[in-house]
Amino acid sequence: MFVYGTLMKGELHHTTMAHARFVRATETGPEYDLVQIDYYPAMLVGGSHRVMGELYEVDDPTLARLDRLEEVPDYYERKTITLADGTEALAYVMPRERAAGSSPIPSGYFRMRTAPPSAS
């Protein structure tokens, strides 16, 4: 499972990944857009950016919990994607029309979604 937002280490919903095995940090090819919906991001198919995230091995019970959290198939869709190194992985993507009005995350990295604090 490729995760790129609140499921990553240190993020709000990472505890849902408690039984998953971390494989490595990785990224997608330049075929997606990453946007900020509310406190969470969405990866959109058909863009031109790389999305950075983490790859995990998940068991069936964890996958079922993730599907419930991500409201599959009503909100996110679980799809097989190809990572930059050619590895295939499952990921949660959002239909582009559902993300209308969202804010782009041009870096493709959820943790860089906000500007750094000012020096003053």
Q: pLDDT by residue for the chain (120 residues), tens digit each? A: 999 999 999 999 999 998 999 999 999 999 999 999 989 999 999 999 999 999 999 999 999 999 999 999 999 999 999 999 999 999 999 999 999 999 999 999 998 875 444 444
- Cis peptide bond N-terminal to 95, omega within 30: no
The pLDDT of residue 113: 73
CA-based nearest residue to 111, from 14, 59, 41, 49: 41
- CA distance linking residue 49 with residue 35, whole number of Å: 11
Name the CATH architecture for the domain at 2-112. Roll (3.10)
The set of catalytic residues is: 70
Q: Bin 36: left if φ > 0, else alpha if -120 < ψ < 50, else beta.
A: beta
